[in-house]
Amino acid sequence: MVDLAMRRVKHRLVGGFARWLGRRVGPMPITLAALAMGLGAAFSAAAGMPLPALLFWLANRFADGLDGEVARARGEACDFGGYVDMMSDVLVYALIPLGIVYARSEPAVTTAILLMMSAFYMNIASWSYLSALLEKRRSSGAAEAEAAGAARAYETSVEMPHGLIEGTETILVYGLLLGVPGFVVEVAIVAAAAGLISTIQRVAWAARHLGA
């Protein structure tokens, strides 16, 4: 919901550091380091260590936001880098809730996490397949200007139509899941509802813009 604004803020905050770092290291090692920190968050969550899990998660998000900036600073932004970055994100997004469930084998926690993951799965499908359709239409010259400019505006490798829950909100949700373990059920249920709303938003967008 606020990703576009946050990307601009991120660019202002870390742009200079990314240019400095880009003279010393490429984007792929940063992506892999982010993945390692994300795995650290998942394993810490599974071990019942919320503070290390939260710190690993925040480090993962910082590195994840840095690799793209470094790639652009070096003139090395490419589709494969974006693909590896996205797949790493999805893996971490899946493993952290599994770690929480492993550490908290309570029926209420398991049910809430399952609901959240189901909603997130639908949310990911709603934008990933839609972005593929938009790219197809753009390649054939049929995409609207609004859709065609989405990836450029977001500085991402794919076009991502807006939704209630996007990257920024997911960072917050996972931060709360890890940092406030006493409210895992409540946070997961709210996140599930937000994911479902986002899916409905994108289906409605597709009906308006992609219909015959």
Taking domain 3-209, whether its CATH number is 1.20.120.1760 is answered by: yes
For 141-188, how does the pLDDT look when each residue is reduced to its tens digit (9 = 90+)?
654 444 444 444 445 555 666 778 888 899 999 999 999 999 999 999
- What does the block give as tokens for 37? 């920190």
Q: What is the pTM of this model?
A: 0.84
Q: What was the pLDDT predicted at 94? A: 96
- Rounded CA separation 7/94 (Å): 23
Q: What was the pLDDT predicted at 145? A: 47
* Overall average pLDDT of the 123-135 stretch: 85
Half-sphere exposure of 157 (CA within 13 A, CB side): 18
Per the model's pLDDT, the better-predicted residue between 189 and 14 turns out to be 189
Per the model's pLDDT, the better-predicted residue between 122 and 133 turns out to be 122
Domain map (residue ranges) of the chain: 3-209
> How far is C-alpha 201 from the geometric centre of its chain's CA atoms?
18
Task: Look at residues 118, 108, 97, 112 and name the one whose alpha carbon lies nearest to residue 45.
Answer: 97
- Rounded CA separation 92/94 (Å): 5
